[in-house]
Chains A and B, each alone.
Chain A
Amino acid sequence: MSSTQQQREADVSSPRRHDSARVSHARDFGRGFFAKLAIMGLVDALGVYVVITAFTVGSTVIAWSMVALLLVANVVYFTRRALPMKYLLPGLAFLFVYQVFTIGYTGYVAFTNYGDGHNGTKDQAVAALLAQNEKRVEGSAAYPLAVVSNGDELGFAIVDGDDVRAGTAQDPLSVVDAEVSDGVITAVDGFELLDRQSVLAEQATVASLRVAFGDDPAAGSIRTQDGRNGYVYTSILRYDEDADTMTNAETGVVYAENDHGQFESAEGEKLNVGWRVFTGLDNIRTAFGDERYSVPFLKVLVWTFAFAILSVAGTFLLGLFFAVVLNDPRLKYQRLMRSLLILPYAFPAFMSFLLWRGMLNTKYGFINDTLLGGMDINWLGDPVLARLAVLAVQMWVGFPYMFLIATGALQAIPAETIEAAKIDGAGPLRIWRSVTMPLLLVAVTPLLIASFSFNFNNFNIIEMLTEGGPMFRDASVPIGSTDILITMVYSISGLDGGAPKNYGLASALSIIIFLIVATISVISFKKSRTLEEIN
């Protein structure tokens, strides 16, 4: 560090010596105060801008949230009280906007039937059903078409044999005088022809326009999907808005809305497209009601705990060991060695999983083929070995993180504390056990708990390495020896593609998992007493 830099640092730290009268930041009218004023002014200005824009575009929720946020921010930063909030607010604001929303949304979905077949709103479902069941009359001709306007509304003109027929949504097609050249309508009596640009400008109207083909409604109506060709369509489904029912025009069957967001006939036949509705606790009931999953559930639960605990213990011990070993100032190339050790961390994890999957291949993988000299060990096909393999890979992927943390934490232990212990005559092991380790654990215990919960839900490693396999032979569902709870949730709710997706069910189950993990974490958190201060 250069001397000028040191000088500047001395400047920064000097105020505490000169301005001995000032105690609280809120009453400090020095540089800090003006910096605060400037920042808050900026925040307020931008915040007000957001509020105004949000009201203008009609996003009242955002507008009021922003108002609340601004109020809180100004109160917190311009009172003498609320000292801790001055430090917490920025992070909390982000946390609330971006994380709590996701949790809230998941909680909301858990009580709905969102998923395949119930993907959107009722209006969308009705529109989709009507569109899907409006079918071209079989064997009907294609008619060259022009989009026309009678001044008030749009209509179609078609070439039907030697005639040109035109009409609008109100008036069925009727023969009109027109000019046609090369099969293209160039002028229609009583109508104005729209050019291509105008047609495109009105494309939503044009696409939804239906002009009755004749006076008989059963003859169907003309529609176009490109503005140039018209076809005769009939609707098989009719929606009655007042009665809120769908009627099949061919069979006469009436479909009424049921409790599950679908149209259902009296005979119990359902139309394929449904919509999202609240289903209360149905998802929870389904979750516990599917007996096919009761066989593997306990095994999965035990393995989930084993995997999470062993992963944390393994990566931590390995990372700590390397950190301690390399934490000797007499070592040459110390920096180089440390840098090389974090290499697994510098590559994207998804790649590592795919790489290891290839390396663990029984006959052609690097591990068996080269490292073990042509052994035939079925790493991912044997229940016990597959679990070991998953753990080993997690060790490789995860130890640099622990190595980093342990290295940092070891540096944090004040050298005086160690020196004092040495002077008291403690040996290296004794120092390690009664000084270093306890101090280290203070810093890292919450991380170990967090790491436990991360591995508890470590979806990627399982899905990319083993896909849960090898499968249990005695279960009737595709669940295997390395499946953990979260991958089982994906399987149950079809999110892995093995069944129609059910986001409602997945949300409900993930909340249950969350409750399990959170409970364990809170308890172990309390037990470890990491909230108690060391000093």
Chain B
Amino acid sequence: MRRSILLAGVLTTSLTLAACGSSDDSTESTTDGAAGASGGLTIWVDDTREAPVAAAAEAFTEETGVEVELVQKNFEDVRPDFLAQVPTGEGPDITVGAHDWLGEFVNNGVVAPLEIGDKAAEFDEVALQVYTYDGQLYGLPYGVENVALIRNTALAPEAPATWDDMVAAGQAAGTPFPVLVQSNGESGDPYTHYPMQTSFGSTVFAQDAEGRYTNELTLGGEEGKAYAAWLAAQGAAGVLDIDTTYDIVVEEFKNGNSPFIIGGPWMVASFEGLDLAIDPVPSAGGLPSQPFMGAPGFYVNAQSDNQLLANEFLVDYMSTVEAQVALYEVGDRLPAVTAAAEQVAATDPIVAGFRDAAADAVPAPSIPEMASVWTYWGNTEAAIVSGKSDPAEAWDKMVSDIQGAIDGS
């Protein structure tokens, strides 16, 4: 027995030595299709998006004879890997992505401008706007997403008009939670809380006349403090809670432990079997609630040798109603192509509800300054909700810290 181990060892050493000096006799070579094989398109997709992109790719290959290779990546790895690999001449021709990576991608020169010509008219305006930087379009959106109030109609038949109405209705329903709002412990979740913040008139960055974000930080001021005070009050009353993480809110809502949850279309698949209605997030501060609107989409590699093919694939195959509907089916996001959106909304009241709730939505900023904001913003909101910090004081310190971070970088 031991001898056989030793023998195996000798064999392996010689094999590894052999491989160290290279080898071309291994079975590996057959599966060794590195990304970026010439003549075809390479596309990075994540797990969820693979099937619909594959379907479009198949049609593309059939009609053009061009092979498409899909490389599956973790969604969170796409951003750093794309940034690191494009300058080496590697990386995909096309990648899935989120619109808020745009500022970073543009400043690093890794993404190619995209001209979709007359097709632009077929897209949702905001969805294209979030992929536009300094007047150039850089990505092709395939959906739009935003948070809204998801209501379990069995527990709350009526849509609440205001935040307080909602809390009252939630308490009247007799469930353990009047409303579920996800947070993330000490790290907070400013994205989910943004509709409440905007209902006090407090925003994050100023927008110019055309809706583009400027680098003027607008978190401070009386509106911001009013919102901070409200956070403290809701935290003290137990309505908001930093311990209710994404896992927990989804589980509790699914089990019927609250009539309301604030969340996005990505949650819907977890709530199978419940009768849902989607309403705008009720106003807490008197003004309309304005959730962030985001748009998942595709980027083209600035160094790609296949610009024409990449463009053709995106404009002619991923912008079709079928492709956008297929992407909706796996992610529950409202398609970015208007015709597809209407087709989907006509049959799916949930998606239609999210669309209506987005009437007042604002694009989530993709300016590079945004990177300096999230951490401070979330930590401060969490500290206020949990009663650890004085709201006004903490809010002021947060604003000056963020300004310091923006100036420092």
Quick check: do A and B touch in the complex, using CB within 8 A?
A: yes
Instruction: Give bound CA distance, A363 to B235, whole Å.
Output: 14
Chain A interface: which of B16-24, B157-165, B208-216? B16-24
Q: Check: A142 CB closer than 8 A to any chain B CB.
A: yes
A279 to chain B, nearest CB (A): 16
- In the complex, which residues of chain A have a beta carbon less than 8 angstroms from the beta carbon of B16? 90
- Closest B residue, CB atoms, query A2: B1
Q: Flag if B115 contacts A231 (CB, 8 Å).
A: yes
Contact, CB under 8 Å: A47 / B308 = no
Would A5 and B3 be within 8 Å (CB), given that A206-B308, A273-B109 are in contact?
A: yes
A42-B18, A206-B308, A494-B409 as given contacts; A90 in contact with B13, CB under 8 Å: yes
CA distance A499 to B371 in the complex (A): 5
CB-nearest residue of chain A to B248? A364
Residues of A at the B interface (CB closer than 8 Å) are 1, 5, 8-9, 12, 35, 38-39, 42-47, 49-50, 53, 66, 70, 90, 93-94, 116-117, 119-121, 124-125, 127-129, 131-132, 134-136, 142, 196-197, 199-200, 203-204, 206-207, 224-227, 229, 231, 272-273, 290, 292, 357-358, 361-364, 380-381, 466-467, 469-471, 473, 476-478, 480, 494, 496-501
B112-127 residues at the A interface, CB under 8 angstroms: 112-115, 117-118
Interface of B with A (CB < 8 Å)?
Answer: 1-3, 6, 10, 13-14, 16-18, 20-24, 64-66, 83, 86-87, 104, 106-110, 112-115, 117-118, 134-136, 185-187, 241-245, 247-248, 302-303, 305-309, 311-312, 315-316, 368, 371-372, 374-376, 379, 383, 386, 388-389, 397, 400-401, 404-405, 408-409
- Residues of the B chain whose Cβ atoms lie less than 8 Å from the Cβ of A93: 20
Chain B's interface: helix, strand, loop or mixed, by majority?
A: helix
Question: CA–CA, A361 to B251, complex, Å?
Answer: 15
Given A9-B3, A467-B186, A477-B405, are A50 and B22 also a contact pair (CB < 8 Å)?
Answer: yes
Contact (A469, B379) CB under 8 Å given A90-B13, A117-B107: yes
Other A-B pairs beyond A272-B106, A476-B400, 18, CB < 8 Å? A9-B3, A42-B21, A43-B17, A119-B108, A119-B109, A128-B302, A132-B109, A207-B307, A225-B307, A227-B312, A273-B108, A361-B185, A363-B243, A381-B388, A498-B372, A499-B405, A500-B368, A500-B371
Cβ of A232 to closest chain B Cβ, rounded Å: 11
Q: Contact: B117 with A231, CB < 8 Å?
A: yes
Q: Cβ of B243 and Cβ of A499 under 8 Å apart?
A: no
Q: How far is the CB of B241 from chain A (nearest CB, A)?
A: 7
Establish whether residues A203 and B307, one from each chain, have CB atoms under 8 Å apart when the complex forms: yes
Within the complex, which residue of B2, B379, B386 is in contact with A9, where a contact is CB–CB below 8 Å?
A: B2
Closest Cβ of chain A to B40, distance in Å, is 11
Q: Which 5 A-B pairs have the closest CB atoms?
A: A128-B109, A120-B87, A46-B21, A469-B186, A119-B108
Residues of B within 8 Å of A49, CB to CB, are: 21-22, 24
B114 touching A225 by the CB < 8 A rule?
yes
- Nearest-neighbor residue (CB-CB) of A204 within chain B: B305
Contact of A200 among B13, B21, B66, B185 (CB under 8 A): B66
Distance from B61 Cβ to chain A, minimum over Cβ atoms (Å): 13
| 25 examples of A-B residue contacts, CB within 8 angstroms | A8-B3, A39-B13, A42-B17, A50-B21, A50-B22, A93-B20, A117-B108, A120-B108, A125-B109, A131-B112, A132-B134, A142-B117, A142-B118, A196-B64, A206-B308, A225-B114, A225-B115, A226-B308, A229-B117, A272-B106, A290-B408, A358-B245, A364-B243, A364-B248, A381-B242
Contact B185 A469 (CB under 8 A): yes
Determine whether the beta carbon of A46 is less than 8 Å from that of B23. Answer: yes
**How far apart are A486's CB and chain B's nearest CB, in angstroms?**
17
With contact pairs A203-B307, A225-B311, A469-B185 given, residues A477 and B401 touching in the complex (Cβ less than 8 Å): yes
The interface residues of chain B lying within 8 Å CB-to-CB of A357 are 185
A227 near B308 with CB under 8 A, answer yes
User: Is B371 a contact partner of A226 (Cβ separation < 8 A)?
Assistant: no
Instruction: Please name all residues of chain A whose beta carbon is closer than 8 Å to the beta carbon of B66 when the two chains form the complex.
Output: 200
Q: Which residues of B contact A35 (CB under 8 A)?
A: 10
Chain A min CB distance to B67 (Å): 12
Closest Cβ–Cβ distance, residue B313 to chain A (whole Å): 10
Query: Is the Cβ of B374 less than 8 Å from the Cβ of A476?
Result: no
